[in-house]
Amino acid sequence: MRTLFISGCNNMVYKITNTKSGSSFESNDDETVLDAGLRQSIVFPYSCRGGTCGTCKAKLINGEIIYNTDTAALSDAEKESGTILLCQAKPQSDITIDATELAASANIEIKILPCRE
Ligand code: FES
């Protein structure tokens, strides 16, 4: 297991396997695990999508990821133990994760709503 904190773009498709649910799906180039899951109706718990709340924490069992942004929600101990943020982690190889999935996710419509400042 190796986690790198650099930007990258390599036009690859990687397989993501979740040992907790038994599901597997693919990530496109430069796509986070969370976004890849949502695109394929696999929903993980999330909130900020910015790396700060920690709602999307999961375990990286094996494989490599990169982060393009800050991972403020992770302590040094969590990083050392293989905890990752699904909203920020971009696979750089086939990866295996241990992550909670939300049930009946296929029927959840993703909406982006306007708000006032
Ligand atoms: S959703 Fe908040 S850190 Fe990932």
20: containing domain: 2-102
Full DSSP string of 26-69: EE-TT--HHHHHHHTT-----S-SSSSS-TTEEEEEESEEEESS
Would 112 be classed as within a structural domain? no
pLDDT value at residue 95: 98
CATH of the domain at 77: 3.10.20.30
pLDDT of residue 9 exceeding 60, the answer is no
Q: pTM for the full model?
A: 0.81
For residues 107 and 77, give the distance between their C-alpha atoms in angstroms, rounded to a whole number.
Answer: 36
Beta-strand relationship, 95-98 and 57-62: antiparallel
Q: What is the pLDDT of residues 19-33, one digit of tens each?
A: 999 999 999 989 999
Would 91 be classed as within a structural domain? yes
Would 13 be classed as within a structural domain? yes
Q: Which of 49, 79, 97 to mutate to test the pocket of ligand 1 (most atoms within 8 A of CB)?
A: 49
Whether 87 is in the pocket of ligand 1, judged by its Cβ within 6 Å, is yes
Q: What is the pLDDT of residues 56-113, one digit of tens each?
A: 999 999 999 999 787 999 999 999 999 999 999 999 999 999 999 997 555 667 788 8
Q: What is the pLDDT of residues 37-49, one digit of tens each?
A: 999 999 999 999 9
Would 116 be classed as within a structural domain? no
Number of domains in the chain: 1
